[in-house]
Amino acid sequence: MAAVQDTKTIISIKNLNKEYVSSDGKVVRALQNINLDIHEGEFISLIGPSGCGKSTLLRLIADLIPPTNGQLTINGHSAHEARENREYGFVFQSATLYDWRTVLKNVQLPLEVM
């Protein structure tokens, strides 16, 4: 097996944070100081209990939500640039509707991601 250091970094995450404000006004830290490099050819699994931030991290990588702060690059580009350049694909595990989006905006979501 080739050493990881010899392969290109595809996704680089440095000190990534995501916070939400709950309905009662409290700040919820969904992700805190995440650091991760994913190299070409690697197979990665995100494993953890419900609510630990797995889906939040994937949504950040897919540019579906913005990070609170930190750095996330895909092939050296921001997640937004990589999405606009169609450098990756994203498939939801199951049909997903976002209650904060209108029906039309939910239908248009795949067009935004592409």
Model confidence at 111: pLDDT above 90 = no
pLDDT score recorded for residue 114: 65
Residue with more model confidence, 42 or 111? 42
Residue 112 placed within a domain: no
Asked whether 46 and 67 are in contact (CB, 8 A), the reply is no
Residue 102 placed within a domain: no
Residue 43 placed within a domain: yes
Residue with more model confidence, 90 or 21? 21
Model confidence at 77: pLDDT above 90 = yes
pLDDT band at 112 (very low <50, low <70, confident <90, very high): confident
Q: What's the domain range around 78?
A: 4-88
Residue 49 placed within a domain: yes
Model confidence at 11: pLDDT above 90 = yes
H or E element in which residue 104 lies: helix 103-113
Closest to 69 in 3D by CA, of 37, 113, 33: 33
Model confidence at 65: pLDDT above 90 = yes
Residue 103 placed within a domain: no
pLDDT score recorded for residue 30: 95
Model confidence at 2: pLDDT above 90 = no
Residue with more model confidence, 52 or 2? 52
Model confidence at 4: pLDDT above 70 = no
Q: Residue 65 maps to which CATH number?
A: 3.40.50.300
- Per the prediction, the chain carries an average pLDDT of 89
Alpha-carbon span 7 to 47, nearest angstrom: 24
- Give the number of domains in the chain: 1
